[in-house]
Structure 1
C-alpha cells in the first residue's frame, strides 16, 4: 500500500477562456518537470498517481471526453506530455477543491494515503483550496513550486507561502518530492 498520492490537478484544459493566455505561459514552464514527475511516479510502488480534473460544468462528460477536448483545444502541446496511461485513476471534480463532491477522500482512505503531492493548475485557486482541504483531513501536503502553474504571479507566490506557513506544506521542488 502506497502512503503517497501524486495528484495531477486540472491539467486537461482547452485554454479557450479569459485567463488562458496568462495561464498557458506558466503551464508551458511546468509541463516538462510535471511529465518527469509523473513518469517517476509510474515506476514506483510507493506512489499512487491520480488525475483530478474539472468537468467544466458538463455533468455528462467522462474523463476521456475531458481529455479529448483538451487535446483538441488551443494548446494540445501542454496536454500531450501528461496524458494518463490506460487504467490510470482519473476523477472529475465540479469546483475548486479536488475533494469537493468527489470520491477522492474515500479513495485515498482505501489506498492508505497519508501524504498528497499537489501538482497542476491553478496555484492560487484549485491548488490552494485542495491543499487546505487535504490539510484539514490530516494529510501531509506537498506542493512542489516547479509543477504548479499560476495565473497571477503575485497571487501564486502568496498562495505557496500560505500553504507552507498555514498548512505546513512541503514546497520542495519536484526533483526531491518523492524522496
Structure 2
C-alpha cells in the first residue's frame, strides 16, 4: 500500500493526573476498542501510526519515559491496550494541536502522507485543533467518531460537526473509514 495515510493517535499515553481525569476516563474506556481496531488495521495495512502526545511538562523526557509514567499511573488500564509498538512513531507536543511547533508536518511530508486519520483525546480540544491544523495544511482529514474521547459530550458533538462542516473532515466510525485518500472529486 502506498503511504498515502497515517493514523494519528492524540494524547492517549496519559497519566490522567489532571482535574478532568475522572470525567474523561469513562469516555476513554468507550473509545478504546475503536482505537485498538484502528491500530490493528494500520499495522496490517502498513500505515504508519504516529502517537502525538503531551510530555506532562517534563522536557527532558522521551517517549519511553512518558509511556512508563502513564503505565504506572492510576489509569494504566486505559494506556496498556493501545501502547505503541516498536514500529510506532512518536512526536511530543506542548499545546493542543498535534502540529503546533512540532515536527509532525515535516514527518508527514517525508512519509508522503496526504490523509490523516485522527483518534484519541480530547475531541473538543486537541482532536479539534489538530484537525483544523491538518485541514489548513491541505491534508485530507478523517476522524474516527468511535475512537475519540471527550470531557463534555455536548461540546464533543459540536466539535465533530465543526470538523465535518468547516474542515470537510470525513467523520464516521473507524470501521467505515478508509486509510486510502478519496479521489479529489470526492473531497468537499
Report if TM-score (shorter chain) is over 0.5. yes
2:67 matched to 1:67? yes
The 2-side partners of 1:88 and 1:15 are apart by 22
TM-score, scaled relative to structure 1? 0.97
Deviation for aligned residue 1:73: 0.7
The 5 Å alignment of 1:97-136 reads: 97-136=97-136
The 1-side partners of 2:30 and 2:87 are apart by 27
Structure 2 counterpart SS, 1:51? strand
Superposition RMSD on alpha carbons, in Å?
A: 1.0
Structure 1 stretches of 4+ with a deviation exceeding 3 A read: none
The 2-side partners of 1:71 and 1:164 are apart by 34
The 2-side partners of 1:178 and 1:50 are apart by 17
The 5 Å alignment of 1:147-162 reads: 147-162=147-162
Structure 1 counterpart SS, 2:99? coil
The 2-side partners of 1:157 and 1:172 are apart by 12
The 5 Å alignment of 1:134-149 reads: 134-149=134-149
The 2-side partners of 1:87 and 1:2 are apart by 14
Deviations 1:75-116 (A, max 9, x none): 111101101111321111111000011110001001111110
The 2-side partners of 1:114 and 1:85 are apart by 23
TM-score, scaled relative to structure 2? 0.92
Deviation for aligned residue 1:178: 2.4
- Match for residue 6 of structure 1? 7
Q: Which runs of 5+ in 2 are unaligned?
A: 180-188
The 1-side partners of 2:64 and 2:53 are apart by 11
Answer whether contact 2:54 2:95 (CA < 8 A) is retained.
yes
- Match for residue 51 of structure 2? 51
Answer whether contact 2:160 2:171 (CA < 8 A) is retained.
yes
Q: Which runs of 5+ in 1 are unaligned?
A: none
Paired residue total: 178
The 2-side partners of 1:49 and 1:87 are apart by 8
The 1-side partners of 2:48 and 2:128 are apart by 21
Structure 1 counterpart SS, 2:162? helix
Deviation for aligned residue 1:62: 0.3
- Match for residue 41 of structure 2? 40
